[in-house]
Amino acid sequence: MLSINDFSQMCRLSPQTLRFYHSEGLLVPDHVNEQTGYRYYEFAQVETAMLVMALRGAGMSVRLVRRALDAPDTVLDLLRQHEAELRSERLAQDEALRDARELFTADRRTRQGTAPAVTAVSKALPPSDAQDGDVLDKDIAHALAAADEVGRAVAECGAAVAGSPWMTWSADAEGRRAPLAHNLAWMVVVPVHADGGVPAGLPEGMDLRHLPEREERSMTLPGRGSMAKYSTAIGHLYTPPDAPDGLFPDSGSLRYILHPESLEVAMTLYPLDRLPGADEDDGGAEAPSA
């Protein structure tokens, strides 16, 4: 019999760790003195300790180690599953490291300039079924899928996509938007080349729109989009009422441009006396007249 101290030195496992493994059923002592509570181990249990150390050293949870010890024939499958999870976690960690590095070195100032007139095709997105923190992720996924659908339809009409698509607020049937506190539906807008005429024969649910030349303020943050980045960008797009240029962003014209490696949000700027009313529909895009 080996005392817990002797077994600890032989296996290079602290007594505290051995007590923990005992409580978790991974390495149960051969004998426990009922009067003193001292634990004693058999020499053959060194091999079990070696296996536990190998699996724990590979990063396996106590639950998985217990499964491996209970069913040794499943160990290789468990290790393959664990390795795949580790690789996925490592990729996520690498992305988070890049994101953090880029965020702290990026120019987080807003930009302002004149955006050219654009012809575009829009499609309403289905109401999001996302919950809490994944709202934006789900909306972006819907928008990217819809943008691909619009791109294929535009190509079939003999036109071509002219740049990055964006998300903007959908308007109701009367062209009015709900307040931002409401859960608004999005639509995706895809710019198209208008040379030789605009696309004709678009599928039902896709509308041709024209954006006139306009003054915009925008902000870009590196990395994947998130609700925190989105909210940060919106906060930076607003300026105090005494802004020197006298121009103010219209939240209803918000454009979330869908870049693969960054988040960009833009708003149209108007003089205070020309801010669109709640019943106006520019929807991030102006519908053509009949």
- The whole-angstrom separation of Cα 184 and Cα 155 is 29
DSSP track, 243-258? -TT-EEE-GGG-EEEE
More confident residue, 231 or 181: 231
The whole-number average pLDDT for the span 38-61 is: 94
Give pLDDT, residue 182: 44
Structure tokens at 6: 């002797």
Cα angle 56-60-64, degrees, rounded to a multiple of 5: 110
Most confident of 91-105, 115-129, 276-290: 91-105
For the chain, the C-alpha Rg in angstroms (whole number) is 30
- For 11-43, the pLDDT digits (tens) are 999 999 999 999 999 999 999 998 999 999 999
- Number of CB atoms found within 10 A of residue 62's CB: 16
Most confident of 120-129, 148-157, 171-180, 280-289: 148-157
- Is the pLDDT at 245 greater than 90? The verdict is no
The whole-number average pLDDT for the span 116-133 is: 78
Question: Could you tell me the domains of the chain?
Answer: 2-78 (1.10.1660.10), 111-274 (3.20.80.10)
pLDDT band at 267 (very low <50, low <70, confident <90, very high): very high
Q: SS3 helix, strand, coil % of the chain, rounded to 5?
A: 40, 20, 40
pLDDT band at 133 (very low <50, low <70, confident <90, very high): low
- For 61-104, the pLDDT digits (tens) are 999 999 999 999 999 999 999 999 999 999 999 988 998 999 89
Burial (Cβ within 10 Å: 0-12, 13-18, ≥19) of residue 210? middle
- Percent of residues, the chain, with pLDDT higher than 90: 53
Structure tokens at 103: 């965020």
The neighbouring-strand residues paired with 248 are: 270
The whole-number average pLDDT for the span 32-58 is: 94
The whole-number average pLDDT for the span 124-140 is: 69
Give pLDDT, residue 59: 93
The neighbouring-strand residues paired with 31 are: 40
CA dihedral of residues 256, 257, 262, 263 (deg, nearest 10): -10
